[in-house]
Structure formats: structure tokens, C-alpha cells
Amino acid sequence: STMPPLLSAIANAGRHGVLAKSAVVMERLGQIDTVALDKTGTLTEGTPRVTDVHPLPGSGLTEETLLALSAAAEHPSEHPLARAVLDAADERGLALPEVTDFSSAPGQGVSATVDGRKVQVGSPARLVPCVTGPAQALARELEDAGRTAVLVLCDGAPAGMIAIADRLRPDAATTVAALTALTGRPPVLLTGDNPRAARRLAAEVGISDVRAGLLPQDKAAAVRQWERGGEGDGGGEGDGGGERRKVLVVGDGVNDAPALAAAHTGIAMGKAGSDLALETADAVVVRDELATIPAVVALSRTARRLVV
């Protein structure tokens, strides 16, 4: 071909199912030495399903009312966990009460007024300073099984717990192995989810470095610290103390946008990716396969060698 190497690299990336937004992206992708992967929707399929609905003793709620209140509060959210709750309510044929005052906090959960009650659905660790008693025991049990336990508060009081499970992508383990071979170090998992479920999933694909319970800005801070040559764990070395990394971040959610922006290169999973992630990323995976990522990293390196 007579195309300049970086342009033909873009065309090749497209054939592999990754849309790079510019030729510069292909060049930068060829420089990365560290990969940080998001969990939900990136390492996993992003189509989680509700497995358990547990009203808490004393809440006065049935499984159905708990699910209906939660689904109503989640209705305006585009988060994969929200879709899971809505699907579960739909499958049980529940009518959703009316919602006003919806708001969402990325990486934390949602809040809304449902039937005159304030309903909050989200991360147990973020919603209440400390989860105690039956709610805590239940959350641990569900999380140890690799599930995401979502807490429901009604007018500020713990009312129930909903367990949600997502499957690893079929190509997650081979992708992690390929990225490890390309960069010489295994990818790191960055997630807002609980550490128990995150570690369990990570172990299944060969990832041992897991940063869990992160807010969107925490994900970005970890990336910036690696890029400055710090340890990326929030403490210790500080600027220039270690090797400066060039980080590839792969994510799909609104909660991944700050990390995608901070990264040397950011790639968004396109199929179920949020608009903000797609806009912020340098490239978008349009074929819904994780294995496209090591393929384009390898490709971008070849293109770079042709240029320099």
C-alpha cells in the first residue's frame, strides 16, 4: 500500500474492530507499557443479572416491593447494574411507581423520590459509613461468592440488599495473557466495586493487582501516579520516585471517563459504553471483543517501527 504507515495502521485497527480517532493515537498506543482494566463491562460482559433480592428484617418490605422501589429509582440510570435491576422487575411483571428528583453519583449509586419515599440504591460502602448487623453479614456472603451486593436505603434506613452477578467475557483470560506478554507485566484491575468480588474475578483471569472501591477520580489518580513515576497506590514514592509508565486504560462507564482522559491512551468498549466514555477515549472497540485490544497494541508497535 502507498498509505502512510500510521494511516494504514488506523485502517488495520479498524479491520480488527477498533476505531482510532487519529493517527497520533496509533503512535501513542505503540508506546504503552502498562494496562489498567475496568471490571464491570470491560473484563465482564456488562450484562449483569439479579441473583438475589433480600428485604432486611424490620423493613416491612416484600421482595416484590423492594425490587419495584429499586427499579423505579434506577429507571433513569444507564449503569449496567441499573439495567439488571430493571430487567429483574420486568421479568416479575412489576409495575414501577412514579419517580421524581432522580440523581446519580458515578461509582456510587442513585437516589430518587419514589412514591413519596427517598430511595437510594448503591454501593454499601458508599451509602452508609459502616454497614452493620444482618446487612453486613449478607453483603460479605454475597461478595465472597463474586457478586456485587447493592444496598437499598428507604428514607435513610437500610431496607434491603440486591445481589447482582456478571460473567467474565469469554476472551478475558486470553486477553490478560496477551497483554502480559506484550507489556511484560500483568494488567491492573481498577474498579468501583467491592474488593471481595473484584479479587475473585481477577484471580480467575490471572490478575493479582486489584484496586477496588475506587471513585472515578481515584481511578484517574492511580493512572496519573503511574505516569509520574509514583507507585500508583496513593502512597510512598511520590513524583519521579520510580519508573514513569505509559498507561493504557480500557473502560466503558461514565465512571471511567476521568481515567480515560488521564491515560497516555484510553480505549472505550463501544457496544454498551456510555457516551461520555466514548467521547473521552482515544479509540473505541466497535467489535465487542476484548481480544481486539492486544491485537491493536501489537499492530501499533509495528506501525511505529515503520515510522521511526
Q: Which residues bind ligand ADP (CB under 6 A)?
A: 38-41, 74, 77, 79, 81-82, 107-110, 121-123, 148, 150, 191-193, 253, 255
Q: Kindly tell me which of 162 and 257 has the beta carbon lying closer to Mg ion.
A: 257
CA distance 160 to 123: 12
212 binds, among Mg ion, ligand ADP, none (CB under 5 to 8 A by kind): none
| 165-167-170 Cα angle (round to 5) | 180
Stretch that binds Mg ion, among 41-49, 88-96, 100-108, 224-232 (CB under 5 A): 41-49
By beta carbon distance, the residue nearest ligand ADP is 192
How many Cβ atoms from other residues are within 10 Å of residue 234's Cβ? 12
Contacting Mg ion (CB under 5 A), which of 12, 34, 40, 292?
40
Q: Left if phi > 0, otherwise alpha if psi is -120 to 50, otherwise beta: which for 151?
A: beta
Question: Which residue from 147, 184, 137 is spatially nearest to 44, judged by alpha carbons?
Answer: 147
Q: Kindly tell me which of 38 and 282 has the beta carbon lying closer to ligand ADP.
A: 38
CA distance 111 to 53: 19
Q: Kindly tell me which of 17 and 48 has the beta carbon lying closer to ligand ADP.
A: 48
Question: Which residue from 146, 142, 159, 147 is spatially nearest to 65, judged by alpha carbons?
Answer: 159
Q: Kindly tell me which of 12 and 255 has the beta carbon lying closer to ligand ADP.
A: 255
Q: Which residues of 124-137 are buried (b: 16+ CB within 10 A; e: fewer)?
A: bbbbbeebeeebee
Query: Pairing mode, if any, of strands 109-114 and 265-269?
Result: unpaired
* DSSP tag of 168: B
120 binds, among ligand ADP, Mg ion, none (CB under 5 to 8 A by kind): none
| 252-258-262 Cα angle (round to 5) | 110
Contacting Mg ion (CB under 5 A), which of 41, 48, 109, 160?
41
148 binds, among ligand ADP, Mg ion, none (CB under 5 to 8 A by kind): ligand ADP
CB of 230 to ligand ADP, least distance (A): 21
Q: Which of 33, 38, 90, 193 is catalytic?
A: 38
Contacting Mg ion (CB under 5 A), which of 74, 252, 282, 289?
252
CB of 43 to Mg ion, least distance (A): 9
CB of 1 to ligand ADP, least distance (A): 39
Q: Kindly tell me which of 38 and 143 has the beta carbon lying closer to Mg ion.
A: 38
Q: Is 38 a catalytic residue?
A: yes
Cell of 225: 501516579
Which x/- pattern, by CB under 5 A, does the window 20-39 give for Mg ion? ------------------x-
Show Cβ contacts of residue 58 under 8 Å, excluding neighbours closer than 6 positions.
none
Q: Catalytic residue numbers?
A: 38
